[in-house]
Amino acid sequence: MSIGETYEEYDAVGLAELVRDRQVTPTELLDEALRRAEALNPTLNALTLLRVDVARRLIADGLPQGPLAGVPFLLKDLGAEAVDFPCNNGSVLTAGTTYAQDSSIYARLRAAGLVTFGRTTAPEGGVGPATEAAVYGGPTRNPWNLDRVPGGSSGGAAAAVAAGIVPAAHGSDGGGSVRMPASCCGLFGFKATRARLPDGPYVGEGWAGMAIDGFLTRSVRDTAVLLDATQGPDLGAPYYAPPLAGTFLEATRREPGRLRIALVTTSFTGEPVHAECRAATELAAELLEEMGHVVEPALPDADTPGMMRAWTKIVACGTALSVDGTLRKKGRDLQPGDIEGVARGAIAYARTLSGADYLEAVGKIHAYGREMAAFFERYDMMLTPMLAEPPAVIGRFNHATEDYVDYRLGPSRVFAYSPFAAAFNASGQPAVSLPLHWTPDGLPIGVQIAARFGADELLMALSARIEEARPWFGRRPPVRLASA
């Protein structure tokens, strides 16, 4: 089997096993990743800030004997601060930002033995379900259909994994930003319980605790191993998730037991979703029933519109904080071309909010979490569509508009397109996007399953059993490289 065939046929865990068995070398895997990046990135525009010299130095210095030693890897161009990998944070204003020390999550990824060689594209500030930031000179495209978005904000990561440039990549999720790209690109995307992964030392929490790091993968076990390598509080964490009973990888080998699952086929406020998204969810419900679980229609009694308005306020304030802090460091005022329209609108909106308004929004988020927790007293899991529509056309969610509130809350805008994802950022619950359906014209359609707060292992166990029942690893997009 050629190195290209090997790279195509194995997930990250499998490639690491081959490295340990000396059947392939880290350099061979890196060279194959770079070959694919060179061939595919001009079409996809998913990679940025490549540091091949750093990756080769990591190998030459001797990789840690971690569970993923020798596997090529990419960081999202937002967060995951690393000395060796400057970051644009999706913005012209912050392009090329450098760091004096590694973030906790990158230090743990490096200790796992991963060979990081660059970053993946993200929308400015991580705001939005598409990845079309000006700093990259054009949109990032979906390898399943180049006219469609790969999702956001971890859109570059999803495009890179789906196209086979890397077997797994870092992402983050503050309103669905791992799960939406997973849905758009036919991947597995797991958002862990709030504070399961470290945020330090650069921040204490993201977006009032709604944002968390994560990963885009093609197999459940890859995500499990990545989570095992990175989970747990870091030094000085303001709070942390309930401890695991075992490991995520152990959870993939367990049976979840007979579960009671709430089925949602409309938005949480009753609006219909696209027929393909509903069909995907109903087919998943049938599968879960075949597996022995109890599935019944139900809608949570929770103020989702109020939560979304609060989310919009919190993220606006976060955008203003980030931009203002950068300008203070640069010692200058905002200039034309520094940031895009949505960020300008977010800052303008934040200026209308008081400290009391912000705290009221945080309180609303907390109240929503309690409402959802009450619903999950009756159910172990909730099954929903991941998105209300198939992957959007490029340009629909670009950041040109300065009407930030309309961009989030307006008809046919972000929350109408993605009415399910942010709910579990607000509640802090674990949730996953599973690639179980494709439209007749070949677009991936993910379904979401959420679990009770802290029940990450149960959700991982269920995900592994679904993967066994309806495997997706062999599905490949039309934009990919021959494995010669």
Alpha-carbon span 66 to 113, nearest angstrom: 5
DSSP secondary structure string, 400-441?
Answer: --S-HHHHHHSTTSHHHH-SSHHHHHHH---EEEEEEEE-TT
Separation between Cα atoms, residue 172 and residue 78, nearest integer Å? 8
Q: Is 375 exposed, middle or buried (0-12, 13-18, 19+ CB in 10 A)?
A: middle
- Amino acid identity, position 28: E
Confirm whether 153 is a catalytic residue: yes
CA 110 vs CA 236, 248, 258: distances in Å: 21, 19, 38
DSSP string, 6-47: HHHH--HHHHHHHHHTTSS-HHHHHHHHHHHHHHHHHHH--E
Structure tokens at 69: 């030693």
Point out the catalytic residue in the list 91, 103, 104, 153: 153
Kindly name the residue from 177, 219, 267, 427 that is annotated as catalytic: 177
Task: Tell me the one-letter amino acid at 133.
Answer: A
Q: What angle do CA 139, 202, 405 make, to 5 degrees?
A: 45
Closest CA to 384 of 272, 282, 257: 282
Question: Dihedral of the CA atoms 335, 204, 196, 100 (nearest 10)?
Answer: 70
Burial environment of residue 17 by CB neighbours within 10 A (0 to 12, 13 to 18, 19 or more): middle
- Number of Cβ within 10 Å of residue 55's Cβ equals 23
Best CA proximity match to 455, nearest among 363, 384, 377: 377
Spatial neighbors of 70 by CB under 8 A, at least 6 apart, are 15, 16, 19, 24, 25, 26, 29, 59, 63, 113, 115
Distance of CA 244 to the CA centre of its chain: 21
Specify whether 104 is catalytic: no
Residue 476 CB burial class (10 angstroms; 0-12, 13-18, ≥19): middle
The rounded distance, in Å, linking the Cα atoms of 364 and 351 is 20
Q: Which helix (H) or strand (E) holds 457?
A: helix 456-469
C-alpha to C-alpha distance for 181 and 260, rounded to whole angstroms: 27
- Cα maximum dimension of the chain: 63
154 an active-site residue?
no
Measured distance CA(297)–CA(280) in Å, rounded: 15
Residues that are catalytic: 76, 153, 177
